[in-house]
A and B are shown apart, each in its own frame.
Chain A
Amino acid sequence: MFTYYGRMTPNALDKLRTFFRSNGRMPTFRELARLWGFRSTNAVAKLVRKLTDTGALVRDRAGRLALADPFSSVRLLGAVEAGWPSPAEEELADTMSLDEWLVRNREATFMLKVQGSSMTGAGIMPGDVILVERGAPAREGDIVVAEVDNAWTVKYLRRRSGRMVLEPANEAYKTIIPSGELNIAAVVKAVIRKY
């Protein structure tokens, strides 16, 4: 069952209900301004008036604001206008989480905490966490994690006179030209720095 309270108000009401549920009291006008994104309490008063007019908000005997149905379990999908719903939740189906954005192949993704400054030119700083994908095809120009002398190394994969080499992004470091087979363990997919 939907109750029609007027345009724009379901969202405001939802926020109000959430506040009420988590704090166990109604917000002040100042808090409402923050909640609804208004700069002035005058704008708050206007919307409050509208909500009391439509019956969504009521005033108790002392004149304090109260929700008409504080625990409404109906999730309003936006107001219905001219027969067309504006289904806010359906729109959210086309969004993704940070996880999904950063990780392509979940099973093959590992992290590595970067040591050393050989890739600072590529924006990879010591202490950064990089997300790397094992078993992904490494192409020229990719930043890769290779295994050199029983250690990891993070470098650009480049081709120099017909052979693949590991190139740093910092002039103070030398390009690594592998003597034997180049062992690439993973391809770098993202850098994360948490402050």
Chain B
Amino acid sequence: MSRAILHIDGDAFFASCEQARNPELRGKSVITGKERGIAASMSYEAKARGVTRAMPLGQIRQVCPDAVILPSDYETYSLLSKRFFDIVRRWTPDVEEYSIDECFADITGLRRQWRASYRDIAASITDRLAAELGFTFSAGLAPSKVLAKVASKWNKPHGLTVISSRRIAGFLNDLPAGKVWGIGPNTEALLAKHRIMTAGQFARTPFSWVKAHLTKPHREIWYELNGESVLSVSTVQDGPKYSIQKFRTFTPPSRDREFVFAQMSRNIENACIKARRHRMAARGAYFILRSQDFRHTAVEVSLTAPTALTGPIIAAAREALPSLFKEGTAWRATGVVLTDLITDDDRQPDLFGAHVAVERMRRVYEGLDSLDTKYGKHTVWLGSSHLAQVRERHAGERGDLPERQMLALKGENGRRRLAIPMLMGRQAA
């Protein structure tokens, strides 16, 4: 049976979150990402003025002098993102949270339950999203995920595009192959070598050729483009994490070894908090430094015993530091990836009896975690992270806080706020 897959995409999601809560921003060129120094998201007004993603702030002020440039308020965006998925789940439990601002939903077989056509179900979902969240979403309805993604992009913003099995060709004939979800620059170049320039040409290529020249993920795309659903909508919510990563940029870039290490230490603390929350332990870790000119140095280490405790991993990072850190280079970001995660329950105690000391440390960290639960993240931190904790993360205007964080209600503090988005801006008498 042919499937009915919906792809829903927030229109200029972060900028829309800002405009929806503050009517003063309606109709204006709104850009988020001030703290990063580049545009993370821009409203349709800003797009019309020529502001593009990742454009530096200085350039934005040139092409669009009246732009409103805001620091990202990820807390609010995340709250609204969760609401977005929860609203879609009113119609179907099969919702895949693909990223903060887009999801797939499988609505196959739900016509009778909702007494509506697939198109009408899709339209009611996007209507409710716009009504309850205050900004628009674009949706694509098609027999497969890859086609649904083509459809949702077809008519942005606030569009609903249906690609029925019979009308697939019309959508793919002029679509460059590289625009298809999952076809990257390398595959695009390979296809171009064989004179396959558009998605339509790719879809019409005999499968024998596809099988001979491409690997499984691209064979799947071929099926999907031909209207045959092979990629299922995965509904795993926050399931097991197989790696955990924490990256953080800071400005200005630093040549100070101890400051850079403190940033790394802070990332490790964060990654370990997350690992403990998911009851995972890491058997390995990557440490990464990013320099001002976007070069990277990285070191991979394996840990003697699986752990989610900060201490051993920081010790490993300290050991790796000489091969990561180059004197005289200015560094702008550090990151850690905890790899080879296993669930904490099936850990074996190591053979040398160190588990007694480990058990003691575990109790210490349990205490720290409950402090964080009660008083907010980073109530206490390790001495090795201290420099990163006390120095402002971003110097100058890039250090501006989101307005919501400065608007504390009684009983809220710098660390914890009510989990309800706040309407902001001027109020008329």
A contacts, CB < 8 Å to B: 105-116, 118, 129, 131-132, 134-135, 145, 147-154, 168, 173, 176, 185-186, 194-195
B346 CB, min distance to chain A CBs, angstroms: 25
Please indicate the chain B residues that have their CB under 8 angstroms from the CB of A150 in the complex: 23-24, 26-27, 425-426
- The complex places the Cα of A177 from the Cα of B133 at a distance, in Å, of 26
Check if B422 sits within 8 Å of A107, measured CB to CB: no
Any chain A CB within 8 A of the CB of B407? yes
Check if A152 sits within 8 Å of B409, measured CB to CB: no
- The complex places the Cα of A106 from the Cα of B89 at a distance, in Å, of 13
- The complex places the Cα of A148 from the Cα of B23 at a distance, in Å, of 9
In the complex formed, the residue of B with least CB distance to A109 is B420
B contacts, CB < 8 Å to A: 21, 23-24, 26-27, 83, 86-87, 128, 131-134, 407, 409-411, 418, 420-423, 425-429
Determine which of A111, A145, A152, A194 lies in contact with B411 in the assembled complex, contact meaning CB atoms within 8 Å.
A194
Please indicate the chain B residues that have their CB under 8 angstroms from the CB of A185 in the complex: 23, 134, 423
Please indicate the chain B residues that have their CB under 8 angstroms from the CB of A112 in the complex: 422-423
Check if A152 sits within 8 Å of B423, measured CB to CB: yes
Determine which of A114, A131, A173, A195 lies in contact with B427 in the assembled complex, contact meaning CB atoms within 8 Å.
A114
- The complex places the Cα of A151 from the Cα of B425 at a distance, in Å, of 7
Known contacts A108-B132, A110-B21, A135-B128; A148 and B428 CB within 8 A of each other: yes
Check if B427 sits within 8 Å of A151, measured CB to CB: yes
Give 13 A-B pairs besides A113-B407, A113-B409, A113-B422 with Cβ atoms closer than 8 angstroms. A111-B420, A111-B421, A135-B131, A135-B132, A149-B428, A151-B428, A152-B23, A152-B423, A152-B426, A153-B427, A176-B428, A186-B423, A195-B410
Please indicate the chain A residues that have their CB under 8 angstroms from the CB of B423 in the complex: 110-112, 132, 145, 152, 185-186
Please indicate the chain A residues that have their CB under 8 angstroms from the CB of B131 in the complex: 108, 134-135
Please indicate the chain A residues that have their CB under 8 angstroms from the CB of B21 in the complex: 110
- The complex places the Cα of A108 from the Cα of B82 at a distance, in Å, of 12
Please indicate the chain A residues that have their CB under 8 angstroms from the CB of B134 in the complex: 134, 185
Check if B421 sits within 8 Å of A154, measured CB to CB: no
B150 CB, min distance to chain A CBs, angstroms: 28
Check if B422 sits within 8 Å of A111, measured CB to CB: yes
Check if B132 sits within 8 Å of A107, measured CB to CB: yes
Check if B132 sits within 8 Å of A153, measured CB to CB: no
In the complex formed, the residue of B with least CB distance to A149 is B428
Determine which of A134, A149, A173, A195 lies in contact with B133 in the assembled complex, contact meaning CB atoms within 8 Å.
A134
Check if A107 sits within 8 Å of B83, measured CB to CB: yes
- The complex places the Cα of A173 from the Cα of B428 at a distance, in Å, of 11
Check if B23 sits within 8 Å of A147, measured CB to CB: yes
Please indicate the chain B residues that have their CB under 8 angstroms from the CB of A176 in the complex: 428
- The complex places the Cα of A134 from the Cα of B129 at a distance, in Å, of 10
- The complex places the Cα of A135 from the Cα of B130 at a distance, in Å, of 8
Check if B428 sits within 8 Å of A152, measured CB to CB: yes
Please indicate the chain B residues that have their CB under 8 angstroms from the CB of A148 in the complex: 428
Q: Which of A105, A106, A114 has the most CB of B within 10 A?
A: A106
Check if B429 sits within 8 Å of A110, measured CB to CB: no
- The complex places the Cα of A145 from the Cα of B21 at a distance, in Å, of 12
Please indicate the chain B residues that have their CB under 8 angstroms from the CB of A195 in the complex: 410
Please indicate the chain A residues that have their CB under 8 angstroms from the CB of B407 in the complex: 113
Check if B429 sits within 8 Å of A153, measured CB to CB: yes
- The complex places the Cα of A23 from the Cα of B428 at a distance, in Å, of 53
- The complex places the Cα of A194 from the Cα of B132 at a distance, in Å, of 26
Known contacts A107-B86, A110-B21, A147-B23; A131 and B420 CB within 8 A of each other: yes
| Top 9 closest pairs, chain A to chain B, by CB | A135-B131, A108-B132, A135-B132, A151-B426, A151-B428, A115-B427, A107-B83, A153-B428, A112-B423
Check if A134 sits within 8 Å of B132, measured CB to CB: yes
- The complex places the Cα of A113 from the Cα of B21 at a distance, in Å, of 12
In the complex formed, the residue of B with least CB distance to A117 is B429
Please indicate the chain A residues that have their CB under 8 angstroms from the CB of B24 in the complex: 150-151
Please indicate the chain A residues that have their CB under 8 angstroms from the CB of B426 in the complex: 150-152
B124 CB, min distance to chain A CBs, angstroms: 12
Check if B429 sits within 8 Å of A116, measured CB to CB: yes
Please indicate the chain A residues that have their CB under 8 angstroms from the CB of B27 in the complex: 150
Please indicate the chain B residues that have their CB under 8 angstroms from the CB of A149 in the complex: 428
Known contacts A150-B26, A151-B23; A111 and B427 CB within 8 A of each other: no
- The complex places the Cα of A126 from the Cα of B49 at a distance, in Å, of 39
Please indicate the chain A residues that have their CB under 8 angstroms from the CB of B429 in the complex: 116, 118, 153, 168, 173
- The complex places the Cα of A116 from the Cα of B429 at a distance, in Å, of 7
Check if A194 sits within 8 Å of B409, measured CB to CB: yes
Please indicate the chain B residues that have their CB under 8 angstroms from the CB of A154 in the complex: 427
- The complex places the Cα of A180 from the Cα of B422 at a distance, in Å, of 27
Check if B427 sits within 8 Å of A152, measured CB to CB: yes
Please indicate the chain A residues that have their CB under 8 angstroms from the CB of B132 in the complex: 105, 107-108, 134-135
- The complex places the Cα of A194 from the Cα of B411 at a distance, in Å, of 8
Q: Which of A107, A131, A173, A185 has the most CB of B within 10 A?
A: A107
A79 CB, min distance to chain B CBs, angstroms: 34
Known contacts A135-B132, A154-B427, A194-B411; A110 and B420 CB within 8 A of each other: yes
Report 23 cross-chain contacts, Cβ distance below 8 Å, ordered by A residue: A105-B132, A107-B83, A107-B87, A107-B132, A108-B83, A109-B420, A110-B420, A110-B421, A111-B421, A113-B407, A113-B409, A115-B427, A135-B131, A145-B423, A147-B26, A150-B24, A150-B26, A150-B425, A150-B426, A151-B427, A152-B23, A153-B429, A194-B410
B87 CB, min distance to chain A CBs, angstroms: 5
In the complex formed, the residue of B with least CB distance to A133 is B132
